[in-house]
Amino acid sequence: MKSNLQCPVEFVPINENKARVVAFFVLVLAIVFLFTNIWLIPAFLVVDFSFRVSTLGKFSLLALLADALVKQFRIANKPTDRAPKRFAAGVGLIFSAAILVSLFLHWDIVTVVLAVILAFFAFLESFLGFCAGCYVYTFLQKFKRKPLKGSGLNT
């Protein structure tokens, strides 16, 4: 399957180690949420993921904290392309928003399942360096609309 993976590419380098620290913070926040059910946690994650998905990434509190830790502990810069991490942040945004909505609708089981999934993927990224974003992206590409032959549409 690895050879068939398609990842979004922007040719904008970021520090993978910093992204892994951010994922660790998401993991911690998801676990704290699972134990406390404090609605402010998924609300904060919605805002923070929104910043990191958009061009406002410099305002992400988690990214700022991760940057400070990377500098403080002199963690090496490991360049990687920004697009897969940005795509994964978009998935995190969707999950965080769904957690928040399901929490307000009192769908307790759905809320817990979504928070556990978010925590699991944050764990994979932070501890194993496994970004599921390319797998999700590859899966979604199968549903991308293809033009009909002879239609003159080239996308």
pLDDT digits (tens, 9 = 90+) for 22-55: 999 999 999 999 999 999 999 999 999 999 999 8
pTM of the model: 0.85
Termini Cα distance of the chain = 25
Is the pLDDT assigned to residue 93 strictly greater than 90? Answer: yes
Q: By 3-state DSSP, what share of the chain in percent is helix, strand and coil, each rounded to 5? A: 70, 5, 30
Give SS3 for 54: coil
Is the pLDDT assigned to residue 1 strictly greater than 50? Answer: no
For 15, phi and psi rounded to 5 degrees? -90, 115
Which stretch of DSSP H or E encloses residue 125?
helix 108-128
The per-residue pLDDT for 96 is 98
CB 43 within 8 A of CB 100: yes
Q: What is the pLDDT of residues 113-138, one digit of tens each?
A: 999 999 999 999 999 988 777 777 77
